[in-house]
Amino acid sequence: MGKLFAATVTSARPRERGYKLTDGAGLYLLVKPNGRTLWRLHYAYLGKQRTLSFGAWPDVGLADARERRDEVRKQEREGMAEITPSKIRWLLDKAYPRIGSRPVAKITPQEVWPCSARSSHRPLRKRAPK
C-alpha cells in the first residue's frame, strides 16, 4: 500500500494525459491534463464498483481525504446503505399517504417501515381472461 506524501501531492504537474497518484485502500489523486487535481476513492458496494469524489486539492488536503476514506470504509464494514436522492424520493412517495406532511424530525422508523414493506407485498395483477 503506497502512501502519498504532501511533497508528492504538491509537486504533481499535469501531463499530456491524466494520471493517478495512489495512496492506498482505493484513495488516489487524479491529476488532469488541465492541471486540476481531484481526490477520488474506488470501492465496491453490493458487488458493483463505485467511485466517490472528495473534492479538489488543495481545498481538501491529504489528511482530510484519508479521513473521509476511512469513514467510507467504516460505513462499508457496518453495512450502511448508500442513500441517494432517488431512493429518498421513492420512499417519500410510498410513505406520504401514511405519514402526510409531518416534519421529518417527528417521523420514526417504525412508521416508515410498514410503508416500504407494504409496497413489496402488493398482490399481483390478475391476468386477462383468454
Please tell me the predicted confidence (pLDDT) of residue 66: 85
**Average pLDDT score, the chain:** 76
Per-domain residue ranges for the chain? Answer: 6-78, 85-120
Residue 48, φ and ψ in degrees, nearest 5 = -115, 140
Instruction: Provide the percentage of residues in the chain whose pLDDT is more than 90.
Output: 2
In 3D space, the residue among 130, 101, 94, 85 whose CA is nearest the CA of residue 115 turns out to be 94
User: pLDDT category, 33, cuts 50, 70, 90?
Assistant: very high
The architecture CATH gives domain 6-78? 2-Layer Sandwich (3.30)
Kindly report the length of the chain. Answer: 130
**Is the pLDDT reported for residue 56 higher than 80?**
yes
Comparing C-alpha atoms, which of 51, 50, 63 is closest to residue 4? 63
pLDDT at residue 124 tops 60: no
Q: Do the Cβ atoms of 51 and 60 come closer than 8 Å?
A: no
What DSSP state is assigned to residue 104? G
pLDDT band at 1 (very low <50, low <70, confident <90, very high): very low
**According to the 3-state scheme, what is the secondary structure of 56-71?**
ECCCCCHHHHHHHHHH
Alpha-carbon span 1 to 24, nearest angstrom: 5
Higher pLDDT, 1 or 18: 18
pTM: 0.56
Of the given ranges (64-73, 98-107, 112-121), which has the lowest mean pLDDT? 112-121
